[in-house]
Amino acid sequence: MSKKNVLLLCGGGSTEHEVSLVSVKYISECLSSIPTVDLTKIEIDKSGHWVDERGKKYLLDAKGYLRAFEQDGNPGKKIDYAVPCIHGYPGETGDIQSYFEMIGLPYLGCNSETSKMCFNKITTKMWATALGVENTPYIFITEASEGSVRKVKAFQAEHGDMVVKASNQGSSVGCYLVEKGTDPAETLQKAFKYSPFVLVEKRLRPRELEVSAYEFDGKLQISYPGEIVCPSNFYSYEEKYSSKSHTTTTTKAENVTPEQVKLITDYSTKLFYGLKLRHFSRIDFFLDHGKIYLNEINTFPGLTPISMFPKMMEANGHSFKKFLEQHINGL
């Protein structure tokens, strides 16, 4: 089989830029070890420039050629397949996928429409409800007006502690805990700095379970639920990525009943097909007082050394390298 020119795109310039750079190391190692792949890695830096490891600028033209930004007589390299390892904008938001679709370039991951829907926490919850997947009580607001604050306070009076989330962010960026009796106005202002919409959820103190959902050998695979154990019961950005984190993970959650595992699998299957997820996603759930709730869907899950997705895939008996090889080669 002839080699394919694969573009590995990372960075992105969003608040999750650094996380993307950590994830790309793992995926780069996997891609580099596939004999049918001729890999080119490009970073979208914080200024929006596409640069290689030497800082040379490139662009991907409308015919799918990756070429130097400054004309040097080289027509560039025809890209056969793209892997957008970008957390947040413009990867998980669907923007880069829209461009790939415009120029007819095959790529790994969910399409532009699904990426956009799942990155917005509000539309994810709306779709989950429509598909019969239970999720936590919530409201959302579109501005930090006095009327919106009153609406949030009424929700707070009913449900107590709340979690305020910028709707269009990942990696717990723009995510805040507001305890019962605390004025939420200032926190809402903070969240609106990250997103035009803000989600307000009832705070649970649940177990956090998640599965790897992916297509392997032409079939949808749902891993056994793994678990994130966070001592603070609030999985913040620092708990996810800081070297001082006390959070631990396991690829096989203990003390989960067969009925709960089946419900998580059924919910994940509904979401994968109902939202037209593609190739792979990590789907997160809460287990609270015996009930299963959807937390969120990650259309490009983290691939850092401590990330759960590749670990759960491996525990499920499948190689991430083989997964990449299958999709790149259309097997």
* CATH, residue 239: 3.30.470.20
pLDDT, mean of residues 209-217: 98
Give the span between the Cα atoms of 131 and 69, in whole angstroms.
Answer: 46
Using CA atoms in the order 6, 222, 314, 115, what is the torsion angle rounded to 10 degrees? Answer: 30
Per the structure, the complete domain to which residue 289 belongs is given by 118-135+205-328
Give the confidence band of 288 by pLDDT, cuts at 50, 70, 90: very high
Provide the pLDDT for residue 232.
Answer: 53
What's the pLDDT score for residue 75?
A: 81
Q: Are residues 69 and 164 in the same domain?
A: no
Point out which residues pair with 286 in neighbouring strands. 208, 293
Kindly state whether residue 271 falls inside one of the protein's structural domains: yes
* Average pLDDT taken over every residue of the chain: 92
Distance CA 176, CA 152 (A): 14
Rounded mean pLDDT, 130-148: 96
Judgement on whether residues 219 and 310 belong to the same structural domain of the protein = yes
Confidence at residue 170, expressed as pLDDT on a 0 to 100 scale: 66
Claim to verify: residue 131 and residue 275 sit in the same structural domain = yes
Residues 315 and 213 in one domain: yes
Q: At what angle do helices 308-315 and 320-328 cross, to 10 degrees?
A: 90
pLDDT, mean of residues 230-235: 57
Q: Is residue 285 part of a domain?
A: yes
How many CB atoms within 10 Å of residue 60?
22
- What pLDDT score does 231 carry? 67
Answer whether residue 254 is part of any domain.
yes
Q: Which of 184-198, 226-240, 292-306 has the lowest mean pLDDT?
A: 226-240
Residue 171 pLDDT level (bands cut at 50, 70, 90) = low
Whole-number pLDDT of residue 236 = 47
The whole-number pLDDT of residue 248 equals 84
**Domain check: are 142 and 209 in the same one?**
no
Q: Band of the pLDDT at 85, cuts 50, 70, 90?
A: very high
Bridge-based pairing state of the strands 50-51 and 57-60: antiparallel
With bands split at pLDDT 50, 70 and 90, how would you rate the model's confidence at 246?
low
pTM of the full predicted structure? 0.90
